[in-house]
């Protein structure tokens, strides 16, 4: 094998065979690589999200103090989560930040001081 492959490739292949696994290349979309669709619900927030490439889209339903409002979600995938803007027809906007921590998605809504934790993503 060493005669056929250069020394570096041979040692890398030997290490791979010894460990039985390879580290996949890190994607530009971080932990959100590929496509996913998921719904998250809590007492005050319901998120239906889709991700394709670096874009996040979907809809959000917020119900602070019982006043329910629907928003369109548009955002961008970041290294460890995503940032999005929730928009209503009447011009209301809310900034949303989400971070993947282990198997939990931490969500924060800017301006309202709201934060929540959701179950893992369901990948498509």
Q: Residue 58: which domain range? A: 25-118
Has residue 2 been placed in a domain? no
Q: What is the tens place of the pLDDT at every residue in 19-61?
A: 333 333 334 445 555 555 566 666 677 778 887 888 888 888 8
Task: Work out the pLDDT band at 65, boundaries 50, 70, 90.
Answer: low
Has residue 14 been placed in a domain? no
R_g (Cα) of the chain, nearest Å: 20
| Residue 13 in this model has a pLDDT that exceeds 50 | no
Task: Work out the pLDDT band at 3, boundaries 50, 70, 90.
Answer: very low
Has residue 98 been placed in a domain? yes
Has residue 8 been placed in a domain? no
Q: What is the per-residue pLDDT for 111?
A: 62
Q: What is the tens place of the pLDDT at every residue in 67-95?
A: 788 888 898 887 777 888 888 877 678 78
Task: Work out the pLDDT band at 120, boundaries 50, 70, 90.
Answer: low
Has residue 57 been placed in a domain? yes
Has residue 12 been placed in a domain? no
Has residue 9 been placed in a domain? no
CA angle 25, 118, 54 (to 5 degrees): 40
The DSSP-derived string for 41-76 is E-SSEEEEEEEETTEEEEEEEE-GGG--EEEEEEEE
| Residue 5 in this model has a pLDDT that exceeds 60 | no
Has residue 38 been placed in a domain? yes
For the ranges 6-20, 75-89, 109-123, the lowest mean pLDDT is seen at 6-20
Question: C-alpha distances in angstroms, 53 versus 2, 37, 66?
Answer: 40, 12, 35
Q: Domain total for the chain?
A: 1
């Amino acid at each position: 094998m060493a005669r056929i492959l250069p020394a570096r490739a041979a040692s890398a292949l030997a290490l791979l065979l010894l460990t039985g696994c390879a580290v996949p290349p890190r994607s530009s979309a971080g932990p959100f690589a590929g496509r996913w669709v998921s719904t998250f619900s809590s007492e005050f927030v319901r998120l239906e999200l889709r991700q394709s490439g670096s874009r996040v889209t979907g809809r959000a339903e917020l119900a602070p103090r019982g006043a329910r409002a629907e928003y369109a979600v548009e955002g961008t995938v970041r290294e460890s989560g995503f940032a999005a803007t929730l928009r209503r027809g009447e011009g209301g906007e809310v900034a949303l930040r989400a971070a993947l921590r282990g198997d939990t998605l931490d969500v924060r809504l800017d301006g309202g001081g709201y934060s929540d934790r959701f179950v893992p993503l369901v990948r498509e």
